[in-house]
Structure 1
Amino acid sequence: MYVAVKGGERAIDNAHAWLAEERRGDTSIPELGVEQIREQMALAVNRVMAEGSLYDPDLAALAIKQARGDLIEAIFLIRAYRTTLPRFGGSEPVKTETMTCDRRVSATFKDAPGGQVLGPTFDYTHRLLDFKLAADGEVPDAAEATPNGQTTPHIMSFLDRENLIQKEPAGDTVPADLTRTPLELPASRALRLQSLTRADEGFILGMAYSTQRGYARNHAFVAELRIGAVAIEMDIPELGFAIEIGEITVTECETVNQFQGSKAQPPQFTRGYGLVFGMTERKAISMALVDRALRWKELGEDNTGAPAQDEEFVLYHSDNIQATGFLEHIKLPHYVDFQSELELVRKLRRDALTAALAEREDASGGSVGENVKEGVTL
């Protein structure tokens, strides 16, 4: 708490009480439950989990309720809670090729092995308000999807067989954990991807759009977008092998980008990658585009000066909690700081006026009356 605020503790308590009253709203209307938020506002819940770096739909729904629907505030609550949790270990890398897909589409191959699965999507809706929802109308049951239970190969694997996609170097070390260690530049790709997956969706969307408009020469195709459940496995030292401890829903996007080549390397496509908690396909696609733009140095390309190619600019400004904290702190009391600057401006104005009067006296060869000086209000 600011020292200057301590005298206003009663006002702060009253503000908290008023906030709770506003959060509840009209008491004649049934209160919104955490379960309702979790089930009926799933996309908001998914965003809070992704940018809060904590996979727990119930806690994310609770945070949304507490924050009155302010998702950035809810993300702040989740991140703060996350710091209180113990860590028992790390999971094995998820195998997204074994994903039970609710949605899987490719914009590059019509007859993709494993098939196209449209799933629950807004892509083909007419964007017209459905007033049946306002009348609490029942939604007709959708045809039940039947997962095939088989491994769905990645589109990139087919390009890789023909050496048409650039090879990804194998990671020899465990990447640093951005939630535990501060971001340092230049960052590895693994660290950049961590930063992008928890970055503000709107910011990353804007950066991705800028690459499509020409700021980074980054023309991309969505090779594959898939959403579904993946198993989480954890190695247990006492057992000597990994066991499945649960499953989570993730969105994965791989983009195929413009080819490159050199005297030592034939032309081939390059890639961008995005992986995010929950059903968050806009974020995953945006992440893949920005990831590709940030790889210019690694791929031997020129830096065109595009914002999305500037690692420092993207990574240091994409975190909405850091941005919100710095932005919103200026509305808190800064009385001492402002008073010192106010006094400085007053002094500068007095000095400027004195100098101007002296210049007028010199120019007129006479004296300007003291009453003129005293009559000026500063």
Structure 2
Amino acid sequence: MYVAVKGGERAIDAAHDWLGRAHRGAPDQPALDTAQIRDQMALAVARVMAEGSLYDPDLAALAIKQARGDLIEAIFLIRAYRTTLPRLGASDPVQTGAMRVKRRISGTFKDIPGGQVLGPTFDYTHRLLDFRLMADGELPETSPAAADCQPLPAPHVLDFLNRDGLIEDAADDGNAPGDLTREPMELPAARALRLQALARGDEGFLLGLAYSTQRGYARNHAFVGELRIGHVDVEMQVPELGFSIQLGEIELTECETVNQFKGSRTEPAQFTRGYGLTLGQTERKALSMALVDRALRWQELGEDDQGAPAQDAEFVLSHCDNIQATGFLEHIKLPHYVDFQAELELVRRLRADIPHAGAPDAGKEDAA
């Protein structure tokens, strides 16, 4: 056993060395700088921050570089680092209504106060490879109109529906939300905990669930009431001072959906909400989160359970975390020699009790 362990250690050390060489790539090429990753791969950085539950673009860029571009591995690195940080306090709720938006669109109203701001998005681009990026690595010069655009504060679009009583009230229930980073999930989970889990959940998993709701698995026909991306101030109460101080600002993506609702025995006919809020520019994730959030609310709205995957809170919340999923999935790559040998011996004993089970061609000879 000792020899096997030592041999395994040497193999692991060699694998680490090989990983280091593979990580660097061709030595005649310049090394990739974390500042380049942070600025030029901003959407990957945003996903790592959102699912890693830590807003720090520099550390997210470092994690992506260390993980060779494997975003789930980078998220794992960020979460592991996050556990080493002290908890000094809790910030005040951020005021997204005062967000300095750089992108703000609505699929429900054409004319909104402050106007629609398309912002930096692939939505209106042709999905064609731009070989100029391969040739010289530079995009065409930015137009003056785009360069001079400054983030502006804008009110929430759904407030107009709320004032007329046409959409459910978004008032807080007054209960302090739990913290999934410090306490394990318990089911049934309140909406605040569900939203936390979805915000940390895997983008691809949530995208698939959200798509399923649009195809009829939960009958979740949604309109984008508003999708906004921008910066908000983060403030914290200081008891010694008696007021809040600003700690800094972070970039957020917020999505509110408007959903059809015919009413129930307890609720009048009105529109209902789905909500998504994530770190960085992660609009596909925020939109998926909003659709899944709405699907999970079927019980509190008095709707029927259709048995759709997106309606099953235990299924969604227990499987949306990509770090938990990765750990359970990849553990089967580790040695399971003893377990397999036991099952192999069992199969051999079972086959020994069946005539001709051990001879693949015995049946052909008997037939002849």
Q: For this structure pair, what is the TM-score category when the shorter chain's length is used for normalisation?
A: over 0.9
- Report how far residue 113 of structure 1 moved: 1.1
Residue 353 of structure 1: CA displacement? 4.2
Report percent identity of matched pairs.
71
1:147 to 141, 147, 150: 150
CA 6–289 in structure 1, closer or farther in 2 if over 3 Å, else same = farther
d(CA) in 2 for partners of 1:238, 1:4: 59
- The 1:11/1:84 distance shift into structure 2, 3 A limit, reads same
Q: 1:80 to 1:126 in 2, by over 3 A?
A: same
Instruction: Call closer, same or farther: CA 1:90–1:66 in 2, change over 3 Å.
Output: same
1:80-159 equivalence runs, <5 A:
80-136=80-136, 137-142=138-143, 143-147=146-150, 149=152, 151-159=153-161
* Higher radius of gyration, 1 or 2: 1
Secondary structure of 1:245's counterpart equals: strand
Once residues 218 and 49 of structure 2 are traced to their aligned partners in structure 1, the CA distance between those partners, rounded to angstroms, is 30
2:140 corresponds to which letter in structure 1?
A: V
Q: How does 1:10-49 map to 2 (within 5 A)?
A: 10-49=10-49
Query: Greater shift after overlay, 221-230 or 344-353?
Result: 344-353
CA contact (8 A) 1:4 1:333 kept: no
CA shift at 1:251, angstroms? Answer: 0.1
Matched residues in 2 for 1:57 and 1:170: separation?
31
Q: How many pairs does the alignment contain?
A: 354
Residue 366 of structure 2: aligned partner: none
Aligned residue for 1:288?
Answer: 290
In structure 1, the partner of 2:204 is 202
Question: 1:179, 1:93 → 2: CA distance?
Answer: 17
Contact 2:228 2:255 in 1 (8 A): yes
Question: Structure 2: any 5+ residue segments left out of the alignment?
Answer: 363-368
CA contact (8 A) 1:252 1:276 kept: yes
Other structure's SS at 2:225 match: strand
Confirm or deny: 8 A CA contact 1:5 1:333 kept in the other structure: no
- Kindly report the root-mean-square deviation, in angstroms, between the aligned alpha carbons of the 2 structures: 1.9
One of 351, 354, 358 as aligned partner of 1:352: 354
Task: State how far apart, in whole Å, the 1-side matches of 2:314 and 2:6 are.
Answer: 37
State whether structure 2 residue 203 is matched by structure 1 residue 229. no
Asked if 1:312 corresponds to 2:305, the answer is no
Q: CA deviation at 1:267?
A: 1.4
Shift in Å, 1:346: 1.4
Amino acid at match of 1:102: K
For residues 219-250 of structure 1, what are the alpha-carbon distances to aligned partners after superposition, in whole Å with 9 as ceiling and x for unaligned?
Answer: 00000000000000111111111111000000
**Is structure 2 residue 297 aligned with structure 1 residue 303?**
no
Which residue is 2:273 aligned to? Answer: 271
TM-score by length of 2: 0.93
Gaps of 5+ in 1: 357-371, 373-378
Instruction: Tell me if structure 2 keeps the 8 A contact 1:260–1:270.
Output: no
Letter in 1 for 2:147: E
The AA in structure 2 aligned to 1:301 is: E
Q: Counterpart amino acid of 1:31?
A: A
Aligned mates of 1:6, 1:80 — CA distance in 2? 27
Distance across 1 between alignment mates of 2:220 and 2:282: 22
Structure 1 pair 263–197 and aligned structure 2 pair: CA distance change class (3 A)? closer
TM-score, reference length from structure 1:
0.90
